[in-house]
Structure 1
Amino acid sequence: MLFCPTCSNILMVEEAPESGLRYACNTCPYVYNIRRKVSSRTFPKLKELDYIMGGAAAWENVDSTDAVCPKCAHVRYQSASTKMKIEKMAPLMPCSDSSAVSKAAEMLVNGHVIAVPTDTIYGLACSANCPEAIKKLYNIKGRDSAKPVAICVTYVTDVRKWGEAEHLSDDLLNSLLPGPVTVVLQKTKYLNNPFLNPATAKIGIRIPDHNFINKVTKLFDLPVALTSANFSNEPSTLSVKEFEHLYGHLGAVFDGGVLSQGLDQNRTGSTVVDLSKIGLYKIIRKGISYEKIVTILEDNGLKNVEHLSPF
């Protein structure tokens, strides 16, 4: 038996409205579509659990019973884990709604985590300098706090305020931003939340080429922490329907339609490049604009740190 990762009640396997099967909780709104064939409603194989629940997370949600699976003879020993309690389902609001921008900014001010569209994939966003909001963001993601999240700002001048960018010209930054790129720099003293990327002195900074999120960050006027709208180790999401299982943890979900033309190859997200060293760049993640970004960097005289001779 599987337990709900949000309220720890037993999950049932039911027919999904569209097609196929899904796990559903009778107590809270948690629903997770089963994307691969399940051999048994009562005793799915361990490899199926690993896929559905996310690797080691499968064992965290297995019932603490001594029942033996009739197909594989495995005994279920691990106890269920209690995770965040769902208070209510997040409201879903189209980005085209006249009050959507102000509502999103209000949610950020009040310390909520919200889902927003970007120029690449859907993201989870909260106030970057709010300790409680950042802790909530990591809790929702099921993410190791040692893994950094980026921030989202409105203007190149904001990049310079929150990241050490004196060695980068305006021409270079304006060529890169806005767009599907995350620029990694040393944090400045103004980005002083001890829970934001505690394992590193660097911060990734984005200015998405997306009207809605840009209006939100402009109205909020502070850095917005941004990470992909999914559980850790799940695929990135291109539509709000793909992360319905997160709704119960969020303050609101802002629907910008299908992003990046709905193409799976665009789930890689933004290109992430470290520009913290003078005259050098290092690609951390290729993302969807790798070739374009490398061309811009090298046209501006930057060298790939990985291509430098050690002598």
Structure 2
Amino acid sequence: MLFCPTCANILIVEERPERGLRYACNTCPYVYDIKKKVSYRTFPKLKELDYIMGGAAAWENVDSTDAVCPKCGHGRACFMVRHKTASAKMKIDKMAEVIKCSEEKAYSKAAQFLEDGQVIAVPTDTIYGLACSANCPQAIKKLYAIKGRDSAKPVAICVTYVEDLRKWGKSEHLSDDLLHTLLPGPVTVVLEKTRHLNNPFLNPKTSKIGIRIPQYLFINKVTKIFDKPIALTSANFSNEPSTLSVKEFEHLYGHLGAVFDGGVLSEGLEQNRTGSTVVDLSNVGSYTIIRKGISYDKIVTILEDHGLHSIG
């Protein structure tokens, strides 16, 4: 018995006249021609999810399987993007231009794409992200479609200053000293939304919003020029591993306005694919770690040094 490396369902054998046998999945588009005797099995490596606020996967993707396409080497996105997903149904006009972050006026070009309602790929402190204007309904819908993501799963926003964080997230109970010690950096702070964040398509199933202030120079300058909140989620198909270089999400180029190349991020280390540490600070005097990411130990130390205690 063989199992689909994409969705873990049992594979069936199909016989095609003059073309031989192939394995096929009844649930997803996975197929594989049988060219020789198969003497091995592929099982998905499922990862345990917690269920705080819908689980860590709700705030940024986790990979549900490490298996890859036997033909091209891509992961689950290879089949899902090319066949049945929402992003496959979207019209592809042309492949996105790849722009070096070091290029003159790259910051202003990125801001203009955002102003035009486009979704772009950008480097951050941790991994590559997909970004769009947070208060633009059409841009948010396009962002979800590109990722093949359930609209019930929240995305974070990216801003420039602590004052911006206070505008978009309710943070009266948090001191400036705490926030300036945490930020900027590889941490996503989850707070209750304020009335200013009024896009009905942005995290419609929760009253909370994750907010980041990146330390990475490029995205930090883009947020300053754009001067509005930027929705930010990992640059990969939903449930695929996060990406450390632009080559790793080439299958999404046809749906993006532009790709801004900042080279290999996080020193190319596999353990850094976890992305930012996500912490819920919406309750007075306490914190809840939603996802352990980069700098987890340092972030917990900062929180506890400021008198917050862990719950959940």
Q: Quick check: 2:85–2:148 contact (8 Å CA) kept in 1?
A: no
Match of 1:243 in 2: 249
Q: Pick the aligned partner of 1:198 from 204, 207, 216.
A: 204
Structure 1: how far apart are the matches of 2:85 and 2:265?
36
Change (3 A) 1:41 1:152: farther
Match of 2:98 in 1: 92
Change (3 A) 1:146 1:41: farther
Match of 1:264 in 2: 270
2:180 is the counterpart of 1:183: no
Change (3 A) 1:60 1:104: closer
Match of 2:10 in 1: none
Shift of 1:188: 0.2
Shift of 1:220: 0.3
Match of 1:106 in 2: 112
Change (3 A) 1:195 1:299: same
Q: Which amino acid aligns with 2:297?
A: E
Q: Pick the aligned partner of 2:171 from 165, 170, 191.
A: 165
Change (3 A) 1:213 1:46: same
Shift of 1:85: 2.1
TM-score of the pair, normalised by structure 1: 0.76
Change (3 A) 1:56 1:174: closer
Match of 2:138 in 1: 132
Match of 1:226 in 2: 232
Matches within 5 A, 1:14-53: 40=34, 51-52=68-69
Shift of 1:175: 0.5
Match of 1:275 in 2: 281
Q: Quick check: 1:93–1:253 contact (8 Å CA) kept in 2?
A: yes
Q: 1:8-65 deviations in whole A, cap 9, x for unaligned? A: xxxxxxxxxxxxxxxxxxxxxxxxxxxxxx77479x9996997538769968978xxx
Change (3 A) 1:176 1:109: same
Percent identity over paired residues = 72
RMSD: 2.9
Structure 2: how far apart are the matches of 1:297 and 1:41?
57
Shift of 1:182: 0.1
Structure 2: how far apart are the matches of 1:137 and 1:95?
21
Change (3 A) 1:301 1:56: same
Q: Which amino acid aligns with 1:293?
A: I
Change (3 A) 1:284 1:41: farther
TM-score of the pair, normalised by structure 2: 0.75
Match of 1:21 in 2: none
Match of 2:300 in 1: 294
Match of 1:83 in 2: 89
Q: Quick check: 2:77–2:240 contact (8 Å CA) kept in 1?
A: no
Matches within 5 A, 1:206-225: 206-225=212-231
Structure 1: how far apart are the matches of 2:243 and 2:305?
33
Q: Which amino acid aligns with 2:285?
A: G
Q: Which amino acid aligns with 2:111?
A: A
Shift of 1:305: 1.1
- Segments of structure 1 that go 5 or more residues without pairing to the other structure are 1-37, 63-78, 307-311
Structure 1: how far apart are the matches of 2:234 and 2:223?
17
Change (3 A) 1:175 1:131: same
Out of 172-181 and 81-90, give the one that drifted further. Answer: 81-90
Structure 1: how far apart are the matches of 2:213 and 2:244?
18
Structure 2: how far apart are the matches of 1:175 and 1:56?
38
Structure 2: how far apart are the matches of 1:230 and 1:223?
21
Structure 1: how far apart are the matches of 2:223 and 2:41?
44
Q: Quick check: 2:81–2:251 contact (8 Å CA) kept in 1?
A: no
Structure 2: how far apart are the matches of 1:84 and 1:61?
11
Q: Which amino acid aligns with 2:289?
A: I
Matches within 5 A, 1:109-120: 109-120=115-126
